[in-house]
Structure 1
Amino acid sequence: MHALLSRLRGAPDCLLCLAASDTPYAICSACERELPWLGAHCSICALPLSASGLVCGECLRRPPSFSRVEVPWRYAFPLDGLITRFKHQARWPMGRLLADLLARHLQHAHEEGLPRPDLLLPVPLSRARLRERSFNQAEMLADWLATSLALPQQRHWLQRPHDTAHQQDLDAAARKRNLRRAFALNDRAEVRGKHLALVDDVLTTGATAEALARLLLKAGAARVDVYCLARTPKPGEH
């Protein structure tokens, strides 16, 4: 009876279990509860930790250029599959679902005191990577977030003019070396004095976010935050 009523009022099907959803989103409440919610984490980079309200050792030793990472989930099953299908198989409804849930998370964070940014900046792809994939998942996420949060976004301010090795194939030190001079700022970008939020799908070591935040602060930005879907734990931890 519940499934029938849900279909009559136009509720979407859950993208995980395929049953009629009992929420406004394309996910049922049971499957939503099973997502790997972040829990206790570093108050700066969102690295999963054993207790809340702490700053991780890496952020204490070397504070990052970004002010805060805001993220709802750990990169783990079944969320990892949703992101992979969105990112590598162009399953856009899955991306839209995740963007809607991220927007809800961010709205709550803003209501709880997280400063709203002046605008959103998607993490750019190189031209070669964009040709290979045909779309930039960060741009799509930023588009959906901009609509849901009533925030402007600028998809062309950040550029990645040089092809680099795939970040997922590298360790933390190699990721940092790989990103030296990888990014550039469009000549028309007006970042001075602005609070900016980078948008991406997954934060792993934070090397990409650090490189972009440093570039933006050097150009005069007042603050840089990072909004993403998922944060990876340390290797060997779950």
Structure 2
Amino acid sequence: MAMSLSDRPSLSAPLAHAARLGRGLVAAGIGLVVPPLCLSCRRPLVDPRTLCGPCVRDLEIITPPICDIMGTPLAFDAGPGARSPELRWNHPLYDKARAATVFGPMSQRLVHQLKYQDVPGMASLMARLMAPAIADLTAGADVLLPVPLHRRRLLARRYNQAVLIADALSPLVGLPVARHAVRRVRYTSHQVGLAREQRADNLHAAFRIVDRAAVDGKAVVLVDDVLTSGATADSLAVTLKAAGARAVRVAVFARVVGEGNREPA
């Protein structure tokens, strides 16, 4: 008796299994020829998604106590809700910020590899380091919003590092990514080396809301690689709150601490 199409065993599962097995064998073969390397210094590793011991030790991971608003390290633990003295003269327009690391030689190296050298896996590594550091920001939040690049800079760089980090963070924190809610409409000169006031002037009216529904009434978590003076985050916070955002929080891989909030070139 002839077998109908519906009675025939499906080939999709065996084919999918064979494909997965094939990819695993290829990866294993590549691993034997080219061992996994540290994402920073290229030392051989067991886990290809991370850093070697010396590079990890060179990272200045931010741990409590921290300022409840700025997320910067504090000299001593003053209890829940402790705030940095810097807030007296440098209070941000966003609600809170958190960073995984202090911006230093190693974090700068990783940021530059993500921004300018397109090192595979760097955004994923940053997201894994950021996720526990920003847990209090993402709790009760609605959406991740990567800081947008102007189209001229995006064409020159080919990708937005903030989008890569946000995409890697999304499954870790359980929040969607609003990639197109805000557009950068003013092309601004590079911010590196500028003081806070110069950065603020540079970013005046730099952003425009494109999708109001994506932010109206939402607690938004801005995502970027580095937080320096906070002028970009402040400008975005003003734009987002004018569009109805109920909260604007900032999550970054590294933040500059002290020294006038200037980022080394």
Q: TM-score, normalised by structure 1?
A: 0.83
* Aligned equivalent of 1:235: 259
Distance 2:128 2:238 in 1: 29
Q: Larger Cα Rg: Structure 1 or Structure 2?
A: 2
Once residues 212 and 260 of structure 2 are traced to their aligned partners in structure 1, the CA distance between those partners, rounded to angstroms, is 43
Q: Contact 1:15/1:26 (CA < 8 Å) preserved in 2?
A: yes
The answer to which of 53-62 and 75-84 deviates more is 53-62
Asked if the contact 2:126/2:253 (under 8 Å) is kept, the reply is yes
State the 4+ residue runs in structure 1 displaced beyond 4 angstroms: none
Indicate the SS of the match to 2:192: helix
Q: 1:52 to 1:201 in 2, by over 3 A?
A: farther
- 2:85 is aligned to 57
User: Alpha carbons of 1:179 and 1:194: their partners in 2 closer, same or farther (altered >3 Å)?
Assistant: same
After superposition, the Cα gap between the structure-2 partners of 1:58 and 1:214, relative to the gap in structure 1 and judged at 3 Å, is farther
1:19 lines up with 2:47 in the alignment: no
Q: How do residues 74-223 of structure 1 correspond to structure 2 at under 5 angstroms? A: 74-106=102-134, 109-110=135-136, 115-223=139-247
| Cα displacement string for residues 55-105 of structure 1 (whole angstroms, at most 9, x for unaligned residues) | 233423464222211111000121210111111111132222112222243
Aligned residue pair count: 224
Letter of the 1:68 counterpart:
K
Greater relative contact order (Cα 8 A, min sep 6): structure 1 or 2? Answer: 1
The two structures, once aligned, show a CA RMSD in angstroms of: 2.6
Q: 1:225 aligns with which of 225, 246, 249?
A: 249
User: In 2, Cα distance between the equivalents of 1:62 and 1:236?
Assistant: 10
Structure 2 alignment gaps of length 5 or more: 1-30
Query: Equivalent residue for 2:96?
Result: 68
Contact 1:162 1:182 in 2 (8 A): yes
Q: Deviations over 1:11-35 (max 9, x none)?
A: 954324523246x942245643432
Output aligned runs, 1:42-53, within 5 Å.
42-53=67-78
Of 12-21 and 222-231, the range deviating more from structure 2 = 12-21
